[in-house]
Amino acid sequence: MEFFNPNSNVNFMGIRRVSVTIALLLMLGSIVAIATKGLNLALDFTGGTLVEVVYDKPVEQSEVVDALQAGGFRNPLVQRFDSTSFAIRLSPEHSAAAVEELLTEDEETSIDARNAAVGQLVLDTLRAGGHEVTIKRSEYVGPQVGRELAYNGIVAVFVVLTGIMIYIAMRFEWKFALATVIGEIHDVVVTLGFFAIMGLDFDLAVLAAILAVDGYSVNDKIVVFDRVRELFRSTRASDSVQVLNKAINSTLSRTIMTSVTTLLTAVALYLFGGPTLEGFSLALIVGIVVGTLSTIFYATPVLLWLGVTKQDLMPKARDEAELARRP
């Protein structure tokens, strides 16, 4: 069963100036948003308090969130362990004023006292709903740990991009590697820009989704580029525009159907995965859409701009003069 004709001849390269301009404007807008608004870093990167609570009977996750918000905690992040156990993550400023009232002068500089005060405040808030709740632990996540996580996340992204570029340069040719990495940078920056513009929480789960999108997007690009290499080697055509157009058209069905089926999973996670997976699934949704479009409308025109030709993929002829000098 085919949804798209593999022999179609849509002139994608004919609109490359428009598509590349749009892609560059999206990148520029994303960079401006990240530089001006910044990412709304979550507790993983900023520090705060982690409180684990256990209810005496099963409750819904939404009920825990509503109780905390009613008690004055803004945007608490609640993660369910089972039907009665929950992990609650709170940023430092969420309950600072209320916690100050629970501290004595001698306790003001004690981190343990502040953790205990936050835990007690959470406990009182949840018990106000008529449930019997106990605290399993209350811990402080320091900002230094958050800075280390942010640094490690940035390093991870660059390691992934560098590894991809080295592999593709060895497996294909350096022009393919450069075009792939340029496309990857576009996908990552635009996805980050979306989170910056929308003001959504950016935590470790979202960072993991960014890395997953990076790997998914490069797979799309490799499929098209592999078809480009095959066409250059198997046909007499030397016109790069024709070859790139044919490569995109012949892989279009695979590209779109793979993206759609993956999107179905990501959308299901977003709709039914609860608040904990919202950021992760949304990053996947945005990244998959952006990555698929960039493969067709941005990375492949960049490959053409780099001047890829049939000669780049043909075996290199040996130097006859050098061979003649050999004994």
SS3 state at 71: coil
- Please indicate, yes or no, if residue 78 is contained in any of the structural domains: yes
Residue 255 and residue 129 share a domain? no
Tell me: pLDDT of 99 over 70.
no
Tell me: pLDDT of 61 over 80.
yes
Number of domains in the chain: 2
Residue 233 and residue 172 share a domain? yes
The residue out of 114, 141, 168 marking a domain boundary is 141
What pLDDT does residue 191 have?
92
Asked if residues 133 and 28 have their Cβ atoms less than 8 Å apart, the reply is no
More confident residue, 310 or 292: 292
Q: Among 32-41, 100-109, 139-148, where is mean pLDDT lowest?
A: 100-109
More confident residue, 101 or 270: 270
pLDDT in tens, 158-217: 787 788 778 777 777 788 888 888 888 899 899 999 999 988 888 888 888 888 888 888
Which segments of the chain does DSSP mark as H helices, in order?
A: 16-36, 43-46, 61-70, 96-102, 111-127, 143-171, 174-198, 204-234, 240-272, 275-294, 300-305, 320-325
Residue 283 and residue 152 share a domain? yes
Tell me: pLDDT of 258 over 80.
yes
pTM of the model: 0.74
How much is the average pLDDT of 12-40? Answer: 91
Nearest to 62 by CA among 82, 38, 80, 36: 80
Tell me: pLDDT of 321 over 80.
no
Asked if residues 235 and 243 have their Cβ atoms less than 8 Å apart, the reply is yes
Strand 40-41 and strand 201-202: pairing?
Answer: parallel
DSSP secondary structure string for all residues of 100-113: HHH--GGGTT-HHH
Residue 294 and residue 164 share a domain? yes
SS3 state at 200: coil
How much is the average pLDDT of 14-37? Answer: 92
- Please indicate, yes or no, if residue 70 is contained in any of the structural domains: yes
> How far apart, in Å, are the Cα atoms of 176 and each of 73, 139, 159, 217, 239?
50, 48, 18, 14, 17
Task: Tell me the pLDDT of the chain averaged across its residues.
Answer: 79
DSSP secondary structure string for all residues of 77-102: EEEESSSSEEEEEE-GGGGHHHHHHH
Residue 199 and residue 68 share a domain? no
First to last CA, the chain: 60
Residue 276 and residue 246 share a domain? yes
Containing structural domain, residue 115: 48-141
Tell me: pLDDT of 32 over 90.
yes
- Please indicate, yes or no, if residue 325 is contained in any of the structural domains: no
Nearest to 27 by CA among 290, 285, 301, 306: 290
Tell me the angle at which helices 174-198 and 16-36 cross, rounded to the nearest 10 degrees.
50
The residue out of 111, 141, 171 marking a domain boundary is 141
Name the token pair of 100: 């100050």
